[in-house]
Amino acid sequence: MTTFYSPDGNPEIWDEQPEGYITVEEWEAARAAEAAEAEVARLAEYNKSENAAARKLTAIDAETSAAITAGFDYVVADVTYHFSYDASDQQNFADSANVAMLSATGLSGLPASVTWNAYKNWTPEAGGELVRLNFGPADFLNLYVGGALAHKAAKMQMGGARKAAVAEALERGATAAEIESI
């Protein structure tokens, strides 16, 4: 006895193939063809330019955030140091900058300086040698504006330019592959 599939798609066992029924092999081939068609449709949707653009914009946002939080280099007394700039460090920089600005007004009771962690000989792979640097209010504000804020603004500008390029490519009808290469 052999299994055949009825026109309704139900497997049934028969001695001979009834009219309108298909073999197991034909059933499996039909299912494979349906799966292939579904995959073609899925890929067609995935590869639409607007979907590629949405994925690319998400990737650009993530890459921009990673570049910002990777930290920045800044020269102090002719030595280049690396400063961390993850979310906690960004908040600490902002808080310390506020204290430095308040200190400049002559408000009493504020610290006269801030000690900050930095790294000499830093590489992304190996890190670097931890150094503690002491900054007065003016020097800290220079570090904050010329280092931290300049770093963040530069990375955001680069990310923004890439996002604008994606929008321009989408508007001119670029393919998904062209958009993904931005």
What would the pLDDT profile of 117-175 be if each residue is shown by its tens digit?
A: 999 999 999 999 999 999 999 999 999 999 999 999 999 999 999 999 999 999 999 99
Rounded Cα distance, 107 and 99, in Å: 10
d(C-alpha 107, C-alpha 103), whole Å: 6
Q: Are 97 and 140 in contact (CB under 8 A)?
A: yes
| 42-56: pLDDT as tens digits | 998 999 999 999 999
Domain residue ranges of the chain, discontinuous segments joined by +: 2-46, 49-180
Which residue, 45, 75, 44, is CA-closest to 143?
Answer: 75
Q: Are strands 72-76 and 79-83 parallel, antiparallel or unpaired?
A: antiparallel
Q: What is the pTM of this model?
A: 0.79
Q: According to the model, what pLDDT value does residue 104 have?
A: 85
